[in-house]
Chains A and B, each alone.
Chain A
């Protein structure tokens, strides 16, 4: 059973960089036909896709966040990471990491989510 766990600071000051890591267990991050994604949910609002990284190393980012965003993979640690620069209060949200299936085009496993608050 694949499990994902987000980790990182719960409080970030503007305009610093938000950094989160997702640790994958129960399966290899190198597994074929999967991609690894970040999704966030502002308080009381809906889900927002942030970006995804594929085993090929290809990354796809939300157009609205692309200029501030980096997603990377560390296969030696079975982890992938998110860096979002120049954060503002609008970046306050629960951040989820998730696994996706290239064939199924879904997000089939999700982490429990981590609350990140941007405040000075």
Chain B
């Protein structure tokens, strides 16, 4: 079965840039979404189609996808961005989520 691999944790200082990676076989040939989940809350879509932002998502969130790796980048990271982040893609009509990355804003 298809797998997406994320680092368990990423730390960033306020105002700096955070990068969260998601790896999978030929992932660049698939569309990747990213979801933000804060404790006790439902996930929120922050990036779809690799790099598109839904309405209401701040411009500091951006995405890219090439080769075997997709990346979520948060520029000028704020304390409110501290959360778990999950990548997601489709493989043969099967939904696949990465294991999640806990972003800590120190």
Contacts and interface: CB of A to CB of B under 8 A. Distances in A.
A107 B96 contact: no
B90 A107 contact: no
Q: Place the interface of chain A in its size category.
A: 20 to 34
A57 to B, nearest CB: 14
Interface residues of B, number: 25
Contacts of B58: none
A108 B97 contact: no
Contacts of A113: 42
User: Does more than half of chain A's interface fall in helix, strand or loop, or is it mixed?
Assistant: strand
A60 B93 contact: yes
A37 B98 CA distance: 17
B45 to A, nearest CB: 5
A107 B94 contact: no
Interface of A: 37, 39, 46-49, 52, 60, 62-64, 96, 101, 104-108, 110-113
